[in-house]
Structure 1
Amino acid sequence: MFLQRLKTVTTLIFDVDGVLTTGDVIASSTGELLRTFNIKDGYALQLAVKRGYHVCIISGGHGQAMASRFAGLGIPDVHLGVGDKVEVFERYLEKYGIQAEDVLYMGDDIPDLKVMQLVGIPTCPADASNDIKAISTYISPFNGGKTAVRDVIEKVMKLQGKWFDENPLASDSGK
């Protein structure tokens, strides 16, 4: 049933901390909170954008390093420092005329709960909070920041026949 539902996905929305990262932050001497991102997740994200999927980031976290990472991957819709994820989600759907049932969202903790209840396919990493696991259609076997994002993107794109890139560039994942 889960795999069948992936055939209609047009939109991929992700939280950052605990999903695209392990959730660990390093406080720099300038006060910026630094995170590490998995290069395989990056490859899948940029390929999804190139293949025409709507890709969006909605995060309570913020910082120039995060914004730069997503810009380098070509993700056009990045919402950082968000307090009300539902409001941003609803505006995003309206802007592009997207139906909520065509959205796969990956979150990991309570700030994602309300928006995950609105989407067609709520998903989470293996190490998500129990409340999030309870409402998820799919729980990746991978932890946040450890290719959980790659896992769901790859599943969607393979089912839709859009995964393989005939001429992949080594530089695509590290932009």
Structure 2
Amino acid sequence: MAKSYKEIMNDITTFIFDVDGVLTDSTVHITQTGEMLRTMNIRDGFAMKAAVESGYNVCIISGGSSEGVRIRLRNLGITDIHLSCPNKVDTFKEYIDVYGIKAGQVLYMGDDIPDYHVMQLVGLPSCPQDSSPEIKSISTYISHKNGGKGAVRDVIEQVMKVQGKWNTYFNGKHD
């Protein structure tokens, strides 16, 4: 019998997220100079920071490129930020190899076709509610939240609660 997503969450040590469509709502605003501006959810950011401070590995693998995105993520304590990735599978394999992480310990949240192949390699493939049908079909967990609207907070909070770390985090220095 296959494990439920809650059972798999017990084994998660690492979160990997795509940016566009996961940390954002897939919308880009383009300025007159051609700069693409994205909007990120502050609660997703809070949860990512909580995960980093609680000892989880948090990594970003995205095909997009934005110095603003990199700065925002670094300010949350995320150091493994891979932007402009033409091949997410190669980046994923290199990342878990460098840190000695087992693929079964990884929760990867993606939303569209570029995430498809890497999501097939992880322990807990997950996606926002508004993801493409192809991604939903391979996801063990589909958040009830849309991309950029709390889906990242949802999965981090659930993993930390299953592992007893969510309340511990807030009962410590983060009341």
Q: TM-score, normalised on structure 2?
A: 0.94
Residue in 1 aligned with 2:133? 130
Residue in 2 aligned with 1:116? 119
Does residue 92 of structure 1 match 2:134?
A: no
Residue in 2 aligned with 1:4? 7
Give the C-alpha shift of residue 64 in structure 1: 1.1
Q: Distance in 2 between matches of 1:146 and 1:68?
A: 20
Q: Distance in 1 between matches of 2:60 and 2:66?
A: 13
SS in 2 for 1:57: strand
Give the C-alpha shift of residue 31 in structure 1: 1.9
SS in 1 for 2:71: helix
Task: Provide the alpha-carbon RMSD of the alignment.
Answer: 0.9
Aligned residues: 169
Q: Distance in 2 between matches of 1:28 and 1:63?
A: 14
Instruction: Structure 2: state its 5+ residue gaps.
Output: none
Q: Distance in 2 between matches of 1:61 and 1:33?
A: 10
* Aligned residue type for 1:84: N
Instruction: Structure 1: state its 5+ residue gaps.
Output: 170-175
Give the C-alpha shift of residue 63 in structure 1: 1.1
* Moved >4 Å (runs of 4+): none
Q: Where does 1:94-173 land on structure 2 (aligned, <5 Å)? A: 94-164=97-167, 165-166=170-171, 167-168=173-174
Give the C-alpha shift of residue 97 in structure 1: 0.2
Q: Distance in 1 between matches of 2:85 and 2:64?
A: 7
Q: Where does 1:16-35 land on structure 2 (aligned, <5 Å)? A: 16-35=19-38
* Aligned residue type for 1:24: T
